[in-house]
Structure 1
């Protein structure tokens, strides 16, 4: 691989105009396709094969309005008045009439039909049903609903609009993300000591992100892509793109400072550091692509979309960067006499004075047992809250407090009970006779179950054998008691079937979300086992050791556990929620753990390879176990630190977003990167290797013969390069 990448880097340098032109042409073509053919983003959560999804698909054919998105207009009378007063009922009726005329609206139910009037008669709800999902609702239709609500306000009512028809539907790029990129640029300037080098790191990363996002958006007409998938691809593509280019460019500049020709230097950097980049990127891609085995379409698209963004970042690092380096030439060489030049030209990678990172590693290695115990204790303590992890998908109760959908959600919860924000649909179906009578019997049976606040009369569908019963739980959509109620109804279904002669299935958006969360919870341990097993195999091949893979796997699990623990403490328990401005606390986003595991696995392998490969190189050269840990870390600790800081700032830049899906993912990834880089890779790793001594590099001879030699750091390429450069000296 190193030889192939060496040739690729050399070719990109020599044909830099062609390479840059290809990248710009691809970007232009994808942007054009996205603009001309791009469709809407689709934020539906489906889970094929489950009872709720099968029943919902059935309703999509026999009663489309029951399976489509819904909007609510919530009316509240002034204090001391009731919504049942004549002038208010007239205003509500006017809003109903206006809503009926809205495009795509299938049905409108006012409080006179549904009985949706609060016990104190202060609040009433008009329910608007669509036959299409939220992504397919035209903005003009929602505008009609909002104008109807505004007209009612002129008659003295307070109104708010909400329901599943409202929510986040786009990609978010705002000041916080720009600030994150700015901080990343500052870290690059400090790391390189050069604005040109910092810009050289950022430019190809941004171009790679643009290509990845444009390609993803261009696929929207053919594939259902969610706004969360696009934002995750943006987040990951930007973070890993900068990091991968940083690794290669830092090697290139170090070689330039030692007098290497720019053309040969970038080719050698692409072959050596580029090999590690390809390996690290491949692990991220594999882990993200593995999300498809869970069998949930939106998660599959999310994983593949993010994997595609990482693939583009790798391609940008090994092709676009060498091309841009060709335009820069010798101007990327560190300034003569400066700290960067001294540090780069020195054989040990320092400028004669120990850096902060090098001093930290020496401190860690001086008392390795104490370090291991202290670091492990802290990580385990951080991980303890993860034992209380509860998973659910967010709803409008997680929306920003000032949003209309959040106001409607809170008003309904306060006046009618939290269960009215997440009703369950029970589909009854007979085989050989009309289903109305069986539906009525099933409704009576359901009223006897615990956790149900109200059971509405059965509603017929276009199939005479079916009815739909709306069940209002006592608790909200994300409550464990609501999930328990779904399980109780399913457990009681056989008995209800015997009593009524009808099959019973629980569905609706709330039941589908619960099934998604259950599927993800069940998949968490097998997915973790696959990722950890993969890390053991890959690292054994890379480092020819048994201790290093085991240590890396344990460290990875500690990082994941500590990250999940902090997420639970903040987003579920509400610790520091007021300080950090969280609008809602409750269960953790269902797919956060698997996303965190997949992404953090790749990044952990990234840092592991760059840090430990230097230690292994020192061990091979000197045979001094403890000295190889400190001397080897000195080569890469600065780059790993800069890479981790960049990752952290990019992920943290997405945390201020008022998006219930992105905010916890951004927080988890930012904290996970910081914990893995600083607590595990820069603390636990050197301490464990110092404790293990010579045994850290032991591998049974038979296993050494069986395993392929990946040569991730391009050791053979570097040896060949040194031989080539010595030949002229012998001739002269």
Structure 2
């Protein structure tokens, strides 16, 4: 029988054990070192955002103009107004304190800008933090924050608080670092503990974690080396850890459990390893290819952050597959039965007593196979009911206040600023590029831009203009009414873009004037997400269908795989909407309903879930197909495939759910939504889908599961022909037992 790629790689690794193991270690050390030396080139603002926002960023970048990080200090008194000398003295002392740090531009006093609240009990001191870029500004802002805190201590009767781009950027940077470290230190021990329960032996539990972690380290080095061509991001690193640990452990778990199962059935060590390579190895290969293809769909969004996350995920999955198909067979060949070293008596006995699928899964599967139609209808109804809330899903680019946890000091300050000064705290910025920015015609147009904007009633002052004569560029800051992420702000932005700008600076020949800012970024990003949905969904579904068709040479299996995955993704969307938009059960995951789902999360979840769901589908259906090819009729093959994979699928699902749930505990709302969405989807997929709906549907289809039209007979097969025959083609012992139970 012709060997497939996975079997060939496993056989080579078993014969060249030292080369495979030490070659892998050398590869990991080398690429991680080179990646560290090279460093990571991060996605720029002009790459990360679409539409006019991207164009504005490119104009400023090409001209060498950096947008300074704006900061404000709120000075507020319950009893005094801005006209009181003590109030003025407090403002002046705050200005002197921040100026004394040497880290800021000249502060703009509210007594010059008129930045007072309507009741004159609040004032805003504005300034910019020095720095060639945002990272430099974030590095400079701690000294400024300390100065403001010192001023607060000197004026106990006032509320003096700082809020702005640099201070919020510092919080995000610090929190990201802390969350990432916490995820690493929580997810790895969690996966190790679950594997210890699954295998009941220390060595067998450690192997998958070690391989997954080394694959993640190597992938990090590769992504850094490639970042000169395809820029990376902090989000890409988080996703790479999330997916890399989950799939890396799962792939090794599939392989190792099959090898142990064959040894328990009486095979010699070499035969057991060969069968594991040809069966589970093939499933790992097909699953890895499916994840890679699904993630490639993210490139169709045209957004650099998504492309960075896609590329990082592809690299870590390919690395994990490579490790599973090469290093793991070599290690198993070296260890032999010593892989069972370090047995934990109670855990090992529980695993042994679980038998083929365990009592629980046998109890679930028996009624499903007895009444498949009823089981299929009931499971589908449950999934559709869970998915129903997605019909009300509202996506949005979450605001600063929505992203941060409730009770955060920066959120409280920003809310006080908004209460005292209604309107978006971040203004829209018109970036004007002209032939001659200082010409009388352009000077009049810029003045008219400001006056017309205020005349709409949708925007408010104070407006601010900066002219860069040498580059023939001007920037005009115009605050919008609304929260910055609501319909009021969106309507104001539309009026600015479609009415005010074209009627003023847009009328000057040779002028370009894109509008950027927080609201503009949210609007443009959401529009790009909406436009990307159909192409990405179509790409992922079409290629997943094609891969299943090539893997199993069955039209029914391919269609079933796609439909079941769509059901699990829909259910995950429903839970996401219910928890994070409507707030049902939100307190259980340490959050509150924020009224919307982060705009990029649904698309990202779809791509990730469609890839990861194939882990279980390929693994389970491969086992069913293997049993059917060896002589069992379809219903018995389904029963055998589900029972013999139930323990592995359960263990793999628990690991994935555990790892994803760790991300559901992080501070950032977007990471929390991603983690909870993935955890829920995998849980649904491994239980209702794989244990109920899949066996029910396959039982109903019977021999039609394996139907392939004659005109598709030319299709190639991915991964070879499956498991080698056992002793002259006789079914293995578990298959004989399954046949006896028919």
TM-score between both structures, scaled by the size of structure 2: 0.87
* Partner of residue 614, structure 2: 605
Question: Whole-Å Cα distance in 1 between the matches of residues 325 and 715 of structure 2?
Answer: 27
Greater shift after overlay, 441-450 or 358-367?
441-450
Give the alignment partner of residue 369 of structure 2, picking from 365, 371, 392.
365
Question: Whole-Å Cα distance in 2 between the matches of residues 302 and 146 of structure 1?
Answer: 33
* Partner of residue 476, structure 1: 483
Cα deviations across residues 604-628 of structure 1 (Å, max 9, x unaligned)? 1121111122222333344633333
Cα deviations across residues 671-714 of structure 1 (Å, max 9, x unaligned)? 111122222222211111222223222221221x12112256x4
Cα deviations across residues 549-582 of structure 1 (Å, max 9, x unaligned)? 2222122122222211211222222222334321
* Partner of residue 30, structure 2: 29
* Partner of residue 649, structure 1: 658
SS of the equivalent of 2:279 reads helix
Please list, as runs of the form range in 1=range in 2, the aligned pairs for 1:320-399 lying within 5 A after superposition: 320-332=327-339, 351=355, 355-397=359-401, 398-399=403-404
Give the alignment partner of residue 256 of structure 1, picking from 249, 263, 271.
263
Please list, as runs of the form range in 1=range in 2, the aligned pairs for 1:683-702 lying within 5 A after superposition: 683-702=692-711
Greater shift after overlay, 619-628 or 598-607?
619-628
Give the alignment partner of residue 724 of structure 2, picking from 712, 718, 722.
718
SS of the equivalent of 2:126 reads strand
Could you tell me whether the CA contact under 8 Å between 1:46 and 1:512 is conserved in 2? no
Q: 1:478 to 1:324 in 2, by over 3 A?
A: farther
Question: Whole-Å Cα distance in 2 between the matches of residues 131 and 593 of structure 1?
Answer: 37
Question: Whole-Å Cα distance in 1 between the matches of residues 717 and 63 of structure 2?
Answer: 60
* Partner of residue 59, structure 2: 58
Aligned residues: 716
1:633 paired with 2:639, answer no
Q: 1:544 to 1:24 in 2, by over 3 A?
A: closer
**What stretches of structure 1 move > 6 A for 4+ residues in a row?**
334-344, 723-726
* Partner of residue 229, structure 1: 236
1:508 paired with 2:517, answer yes
SS of the equivalent of 1:707 reads coil
Could you tell me whether the CA contact under 8 Å between 2:72 and 2:163 is conserved in 1? yes
Cα deviations across residues 276-300 of structure 1 (Å, max 9, x unaligned)? 1011011111221221221111111
What are structure 2's unaligned runs of at least 5 residues? 733-742
Superposition CA RMSD, Å: 3.4
SS of the equivalent of 2:514 reads strand
1:292 paired with 2:299, answer yes
Question: Whole-Å Cα distance in 2 between the matches of residues 681 and 84 of structure 1?
Answer: 71
Q: 1:133 to 1:313 in 2, by over 3 A?
A: farther
* Partner of residue 523, structure 1: 532
Q: 1:131 to 1:336 in 2, by over 3 A?
A: closer
Q: 1:218 to 1:421 in 2, by over 3 A?
A: farther
Could you tell me whether the CA contact under 8 Å between 1:2 and 1:272 is conserved in 2? no
* Partner of residue 730, structure 1: none
Q: 1:353 to 1:497 in 2, by over 3 A?
A: closer
Q: 1:625 to 1:93 in 2, by over 3 A?
A: same
Please list, as runs of the form range in 1=range in 2, the aligned pairs for 1:145-544 lying within 5 A after superposition: 145-156=144-155, 157-165=158-166, 166=169, 167-169=171-173, 170-171=176-177, 172-175=179-182, 178-217=185-224, 224-332=231-339, 351=355, 355-397=359-401, 398-417=403-422, 419-428=423-432, 431=435, 433-434=439-440, 435-449=442-456, 451-454=458-461, 456=463, 458-462=465-469, 466-492=473-499, 496-497=503-504, 501=508, 504-544=513-553
SS of the equivalent of 2:482 reads coil
Greater shift after overlay, 553-562 or 482-491?
482-491
- TM-aligned CA deviation for residue 659 of structure 1: 1.6
* Partner of residue 74, structure 1: 73
SS of the equivalent of 2:724 reads helix
- TM-aligned CA deviation for residue 596 of structure 1: 0.8
* Partner of residue 14, structure 2: 13
Question: Whole-Å Cα distance in 2 between the matches of residues 646 and 530 of structure 1?
Answer: 29
Could you tell me whether the CA contact under 8 Å between 1:382 and 1:566 is conserved in 2? yes
SS of the equivalent of 1:161 reads strand
- TM-aligned CA deviation for residue 28 of structure 1: 3.1
Greater shift after overlay, 671-680 or 164-173?
164-173
- TM-aligned CA deviation for residue 245 of structure 1: 0.3
Question: Whole-Å Cα distance in 1 between the matches of residues 208 and 373 of structure 2?
Answer: 38
What are structure 1's unaligned runs of at least 5 residues? 727-732
Q: 1:267 to 1:652 in 2, by over 3 A?
A: same
Question: Whole-Å Cα distance in 1 between the matches of residues 47 and 524 of structure 2?
Answer: 9
Could you tell me whether the CA contact under 8 Å between 1:43 and 1:225 is conserved in 2? no
Question: Whole-Å Cα distance in 2 between the matches of residues 368 and 230 of structure 1?
Answer: 43
Please list, as runs of the form range in 1=range in 2, the aligned pairs for 1:582-597 lying within 5 A after superposition: 582=591, 585-597=594-606
Could you tell me whether the CA contact under 8 Å between 1:277 and 1:606 is conserved in 2? yes
Question: Whole-Å Cα distance in 2 between the matches of residues 337 and 241 of structure 1?
Answer: 27
Q: 1:131 to 1:497 in 2, by over 3 A?
A: farther
Q: 1:76 to 1:619 in 2, by over 3 A?
A: same
SS of the equivalent of 2:429 reads strand
TM-score between both structures, scaled by the size of structure 1: 0.88
Could you tell me whether the CA contact under 8 Å between 2:506 and 2:512 is conserved in 1? no
Question: Whole-Å Cα distance in 2 between the matches of residues 181 and 652 of structure 1?
Answer: 13
